[in-house]
Structure 1
Amino acid sequence: MDDAGIYARESPYLDSHVQLGIASGRVVSVSFPETPEDNADPDHDLLDRVFAYLEGTEDDFADVQVALTVPTDRRKVLETVRDLPYGESVTVAALARMTPGIDADDEEDLRLVRTALSDNPAPLFIPDHRVNDGPSAAPPAVEQRLRSLEGL
């Protein structure tokens, strides 16, 4: 991905559009708007992969470069989420235990984990829908469809 722009396509499965923001070949944002940006292009190889995933093709998107411009402590949480395998889910506490420097017994650290999840700039590529008791940056209906797709 050596491109930049906004790309979007309507997903009947999600009942919304999938919109990607890409800069310098990296995903900077993923959203699920009812109506995409006026200048959104529907043609992009990554959108093709997303739609294959939405049709049931297993894809962990591990090779997709995501630009994470979030504080370091949140970045650690999101990087851990990125490693969660397709079709598997964890709890917020388990995610905290898996994340270096986070104490699953510290309420402030658990709040940090939840904040990182809710502020996730690239849901789907950073699959916060795999954290079954945490917030998702995706709308609730989209989160539930992604969970259903993966059998969670």
Structure 2
Amino acid sequence: MVSLGTTGVYAREYDALDRAVEVGFASGRVISVAFPPTPSADADADHELLDRIGDYLDGDEETFDEFEVALTVDTDERDVLETVKQIDYGEEVSVSQLTRMVGKDPNEPEDVEFVDETLRDNPVPLLIPDHRVQGGPYATPRAVRRSFREIEGI
């Protein structure tokens, strides 16, 4: 794991997104990723993860695996998010496939809705790449998602 420092908010504007990426940390672990129009006034722009996001936006194949994510969700939601995290760069799965991958039935509306809600509530989009799930709701805003998919060729 990469040493991420301590607790705080880090953000930087990226021309490729026409907006900022803001990352929250607690005890050296990533707890949130957001895409505000501009960085928060109190956010620090100097962080290794922001550098790596810039590399990703420039076309480098980044997995962000060495950055520890702190998920405060129940076990079933964690299973969905951890499965999404395993989708390789440049690959995609459908919501139905993801539902099946986490041991739920894609023909059961409640199972699909559970997966949809988990995707919509993803606290760390990009690090848990919901943009690689086709046809679902996303925590990643539409324009950002489109940019990520274009960068990855999906």
TM-score, length-normalised on structure 1?
Answer: 0.96
How many percent of aligned residue pairs carry the same amino acid? 53
**Unmatched tracts of structure 2, length 5 or more:** none
The match for 2:126 among 110, 119, 124 is 124
2: CA distance, partners of 1:65 / 1:8: 18
Tell me the CA shift for residue 11 of structure 1.
0.6
| 1:109 and 2:117 aligned | no
For 1:60-75, list aligned pairs within 5 A. Answer: 60-75=63-78
Deviation sequence 1:9-67 (CA, Å, 0-9, x none): 00100111010001111100000001222110000011111110110000111221111
The corresponding residue for 1:14 is 17
For 1:2-151, list aligned pairs within 5 A. Answer: 2-99=5-102, 101-151=103-153
Tell me the CA shift for residue 105 of structure 1.
2.1
Q: Which amino acid in structure 2 is aligned with residue 123 of structure 1?
A: P
Tell me the CA shift for residue 109 of structure 1.
0.6
2: CA distance, partners of 1:127 / 1:63: 15
TM-score, length-normalised on structure 2?
Answer: 0.95
Deviation sequence 1:71-114 (CA, Å, 0-9, x none): 22111100100000000000000001111x42222110100000
The two structures, once aligned, show a CA RMSD in angstroms of 0.9
Q: Which amino acid in structure 2 is aligned with residue 37 of structure 1?
A: S
SS for the counterpart of 2:30 is strand
Q: After TM superposition, which residue ranges in structure 1, 4 or more long, deviate above 3 angstroms?
A: none
